[in-house]
Amino acid sequence: MRFNVRLNRILGGLAVLAGSIALPLQAATLYVSPEGDDRNQGRVPIVAGVHGPMATLAAALRKMRSVGPTDAGADRIVLLPGLYVLRETVRLWAEDSGTETAPLIIEALVPGTVTLSGARQIAPLNQLGEEWRAAVDLPRGFHMLWVDGNRATRARSPNGSEYFVGGENVRKPIPEQRPFRLTHQDNFENTRAVVLPVAARAELGKAQSAGGVQGVNLIAMHSWTASSQTINSYDQATGVVSVSPDSIWPFLRFGPTQRFALENHPSFLDEPGEWLLSTDGELRYRPRPGESIERSRVFAPQLETLLAFSGVAERPVKNVILKGLRFAHSSAWTVPFIDSQAATGAPAALLLDYANNILIDDCAFENIGGYALWLRFGVRNSAIKRSLFRDLGAGGIRIGSSALSKTPAARTESNTVEHNLITGTGRVFPSGIGIWIGQSSLNRIANNELEKLNYTGISVGWTWGFGPSEARQNVIESNYIHEVGQGVLSDLGGIYTLGRTEGTVIRGNRIEDVYSFLDTGGATAWGIYLDEGSSDILVENNVALRTSGGGFHLHYGRDNTIRNNIFGFGRVGGVKRTAKGEHSRMLFEKNVVLAEGGPIYYGEWEDVSVVARSNILFRKDLPFEYRGQALSRLVQRGIELGSIAADPQLVCTAGRCDVSQGIADSVGFENFSTASAGIGSQGFFVARCLTDPVCRQ
């Protein structure tokens, strides 16, 4: 009621424009409404007559191009409340650019009340026993479904988050061979067929007896990624299932506890919240408690990209602001999906190419098929602020490309991501990342909150080893990252880096509760994880608590400085350094390391290429020991100069962790606060949107 009163007042105030519709447009304002008509002029927000609002954003953009930017102020396209069903990707070209002093603004009249959707509503629905059913005429079908804003599950076995665990290789593997070098025939065969666990055989046998396994998909969870493949054949006698296309990783490469699920067969449709699209185009859905066939709204996504900035190197899109908009129901066709890492093959709902000075502010991305937003090629000096990213098939934000730029103009750099909330990643592609920076430099990722992530929170860099990299001088600071991994995948971090990332700073972040599926084979999970080749990085004043593997891990990389951090309560150990030697040079000083289980240090900490000094090292139930040597012995050998084995008396309250001042002073540790990490007091429309039924369409 309050919202309707507020909206009526706004529209009433704007209605005075109707009396002056003959005036020429100066700083142009066009209005769009789901109840409008693209033949209208769009000059007034009142749905009456030819001067009323247009019906689509695409039509408003075309009309605005004919007006062109003026010096009279910012041109605006204002969207009235409602659901806008997009039939095709809306594109902005160089002709849509504003100027630095007068940008083009595309905004909601009332923030949070406009939804740009890539789905089709499925109706009418009919009740048949425990199921809702509907005839569907969509040429590509769909791989995702939302009911009242909640993601439904494609019919699968086992149900929920459970998996079949175990299985056998069809041929004996060659374990010493790198998993991506599949020249040996036995390893190669293990990418295209596997002997399923006993429980999975029983379920697939039922499916085979009830019409065959055609169209059934095999979901396989590898260590740090997953694959979704089509089952070609199944031998009930041997338990061997063959799939296509081949997996990147041989099945069971990371140990005997590999997990599997089966998807997309009528025999799996046995739990509320599951759905199935039959080959003849009938949707079957088992409703959840509280859902109503009369009131519920069912959406099947059709568009992978809802909005695209499609500039070119010579003519980028410039000076555009998106404000107060909600993007929802983007699609992704999920079978097959063979991922090497980070779900980089997943599509993005909002895609930017060759775009400068773009601001995305106070927006929401919900019910997304792949990634929400991708600043791909040639995107510079742009910002994503105060926005919500929720229920994401892959991840939240991608910056840059996986490959090195072919031209200077193609480089994406100097962008800002701040005060955003990212929650619920990896809902379809488990290895999706909260915020991913590939081959991109000079970006600032600050004061974001990331939670409920199936894989890594923030990832920087995309070069394995010491090869060429464009990921330099990125700043990752004051982010609050928690509930990472959630036991779904392994080999991950709250913050993760890869390759040469010279000048990158990781500072003032608070990282909590980072847990992997595995603690051993296939690697585990750390608070801050510098992976292969990570070099010239400063890690300081961060707090990383309650992790599987420990607060910090350096795989290998040169000349990293790890200073004045708190790493606490790792299950496997405190901190890890995998490799030794000159290619793993590191300064590790004035850090607090508290181990919950296992050693304080594990891996390689003894060679002269690591300088460890003035650290506070503590495990409550055992004295410090590294490979049988006490701390005093290491100090004598010059390995742990000035460090102490003492209880830091750590006290954590309100986002701040403090070490006893006397203990801190003894090694020069400086107490710091991460209370300001995360969104803090910076508001965005989401708080209002959550209580507004119009916004939940």
Is the model's pLDDT at 460 over the cut of 90?
yes
Is the model's pLDDT at 683 over the cut of 70?
no
Domains recognised in the chain with CATH numbers: 2-80+89-107 (no CATH), 121-295 (no CATH), 317-377+385-667 (2.160.20)
Confidence of residue 541 (pLDDT cuts 50, 70, 90): very high
pLDDT, mean over the chain: 91
Is the model's pLDDT at 294 over the cut of 90?
yes
Token pair in block for residue 683: 């508001």
pLDDT mean over 378-397: 97
Determine the pLDDT at residue 523: 87
Percent of the chain exceeding pLDDT 90 equals 79
Distance of CA 620 to the CA centre of its chain: 36
Confidence of residue 73 (pLDDT cuts 50, 70, 90): confident
Determine the pLDDT at residue 678: 94
pTM: 0.94
Q: Between β-strands 131-135 and 282-285, what pairing exists: parallel, antiparallel or unpaired?
A: antiparallel
State pLDDT tens for residues 575-607: 999 999 999 999 999 999 999 888 999 999 988
Confidence of residue 139 (pLDDT cuts 50, 70, 90): confident
Is the model's pLDDT at 691 over the cut of 80?
no
pLDDT mean over 571-576: 94
Which of these, 494, 616, 604, 502, lies nearest to 551 by C-alpha position?
494
| SS3 label, residue 189 | helix
pLDDT mean over 493-516: 97
Of the candidate ranges 139-153, 463-477, 513-527, 674-688, the one whose mean pLDDT is the lowest:
674-688
d(CA 12, CA 518): 60
d(CA 514, CA 487): 9
Give φ, ψ of 511 to 5 degrees: -125, 125
d(CA 605, CA 625): 12
Confidence of residue 472 (pLDDT cuts 50, 70, 90): very high
Sequence-ordered list of residues with C-beta below 8 angstroms from that of 352, at least 6 positions apart, any chain:
308, 309, 317, 358, 373, 374, 375, 376, 379, 382
Which residue's entry shows tokens 């029983």? 202
Is the model's pLDDT at 114 over the cut of 80?
yes
Query: Which residues partner with 505 through β-bridges?
Result: 475, 538
The DSSP code sequence of 207-233 is HHHTT-STT-EEEEE-SS-EEEEEEEE
State pLDDT tens for residues 604-625: 998 889 999 999 999 988 888 8
Confidence of residue 395 (pLDDT cuts 50, 70, 90): very high
